């Protein structure tokens, strides 16, 4: 029999998140929910339903060099997931997610719409390699305290480019010279290589949900299978952690979550 889904993290899980900077909650979405969301994503991928980000826009290793190159219209992200379809927005605010975020972020939590807020699509033919980075580079908030929630809609393993993380790095302050110009970890120094050698793959099944801190170093490889990988990804912050005026983070309204009992 499958183990029951608890509506909150246990105290041990909260300690684990604090020390590692990430945590997987298994089976939070039912298989039929995953299938329904994946069908929406497949429909929008087939139609290239805007707004999207193309692999070519990333300029990551392995991405097509331009929109006009072979594979240049390969979609990497179906953007604005929260506004895209009711099924996707329900996931963003589902009580099992909101309750856990309340434990991690406090009693008032908001969804940030300015980055992530997407279905990540990793297609077999033209996927790229994502280098080691911290997502905090995507946002400008008063405090570098955001948490992303990654819903696996199918199996995620090394072969199809699952996330790789370096536990505990959300607490590290690295000097500026350890990053390259695009804020990826440089691969050519011994101390960075030592750090990268501590990596762990986050393998997920459909319905598993990864919570991770915006300062956690992570990376991902290409999809070497013949099947597209779909992951729904949202990011959240405490309501008193405001986006900085005039930045991209302040352009779209944050969405307050309704939290039940049991929050921090």
Contacting positions for ligand AKG (CB under 6 A): 120, 122, 130, 135, 161, 218, 220
Please, how many CA atoms are within 13 Å of residue 154, restricted to the half-sphere of its CB?
19
Give whichever of 146 and 220 is closer to ligand AKG, judged by the CB atom. 220
Report the residue number, 85 or 135, with the smaller CB distance to ligand AKG: 135
CB of 39 to ligand AKG, least distance (A): 21
| Cβ pair 153, 41 in contact under 8 A | yes
- Provide the minimum distance between the beta carbon of 258 and ligand AKG in the complex, in angstroms, as a whole number: 27
Q: Which two tokens stand for residue 18?
A: 């604090």
Long-range contacts of 85-94 (CB under 8 A, 24+ apart): 85/40, 87/33, 87/36, 87/37, 87/40, 88/37, 88/40, 88/119, 88/232, 91/29, 91/33, 91/37, 91/151, 91/232, 91/234, 92/234, 92/255, 93/255, 93/257, 93/258, 94/28
Gap between the terminal Cα atoms of the chain: 31
- In terms of CB distance, is 165 or 259 closer to ligand AKG? 165
Give me the least distance between CB of 69 and ligand AKG, in Å please.
19
| Least distance from ligand AKG to the Cβ atom of residue 58, Å | 9
The residue nearest ligand AKG at its CB is 220
CB of 161 to ligand AKG, least distance (A): 6
Neighbouring-strand partners of residue 201:
164
17 versus 139: smaller Cβ distance to ligand AKG: 139
CB-based burial, 59-85: b 16+ in 10 Å, e otherwise: ebeebbeeeeeebbebbbbbbbbbebb
Angstrom distance (rounded) from CA 96 to CA 259: 10
Nearer to ligand AKG, 102 or 161 (CB): 161
Nearer to ligand AKG, 162 or 257 (CB): 162
Q: In the complex, what is the shortest distance from the CB of residue 172 to ligand AKG, in angstroms, rounded to a whole number?
A: 17
Looking at the Cβ atoms of 88 and 120, the one nearer to ligand AKG is: 120
Give least dist CB 198 to ligand AKG, A. 17
């Amino acid at each position: 029999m499958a183990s029951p889904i608890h509506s909150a993290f246990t105290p041990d899980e909260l300690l684990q998140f604090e020390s590692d900077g990430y945590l997987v909650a298994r089976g939070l979405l039912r298989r039929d929910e995953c299938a329904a969301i994946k069908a929406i994503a497949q429909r929008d991928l087939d139609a290239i339903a805007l707004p999207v980000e193309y692999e070519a826009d990333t300029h990551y290793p392995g991405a097509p060099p331009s929109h006009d190159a072979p594979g240049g219209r390969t979609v990497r992200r179906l953007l604005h997931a929260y506004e895209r379809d009711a099924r996707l927005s329900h996931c963003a605010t589902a009580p099992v997610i909101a309750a856990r975020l309340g434990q991690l972020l406090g009693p008032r939590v908001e969804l940030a719409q300015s980055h992530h807020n997407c279905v990540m699509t990793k297609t077999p033919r033209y996927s790229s390699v994502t280098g080691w980075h911290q997502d905090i580079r995507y946002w400008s908030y008063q405090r570098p305290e955001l948490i992303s929630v990654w819903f696996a809609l199918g199996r995620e393993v090394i072969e199809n480019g699952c996330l790789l993380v370096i536990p505990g790095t959300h607490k590290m302050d690295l000097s500026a010279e350890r990053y390259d110009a695009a804020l990826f970890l440089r691969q050519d120094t011994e101390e960075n290589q030592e750090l990268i050698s501590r990596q762990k793959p986050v393998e997920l099944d459909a319905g598993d949900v990864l919570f991770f801190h915006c300062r956690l170093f992570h990376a991902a490889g290409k999809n070497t299978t013949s099947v597209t990988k779909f992951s729904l990804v949202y990011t959240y912050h405490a309501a008193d952690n405001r986006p900085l005026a005039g930045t991209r983070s302040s352009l779209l309204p944050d969405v307050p979550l309704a939290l039940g009992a049991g929050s921090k």
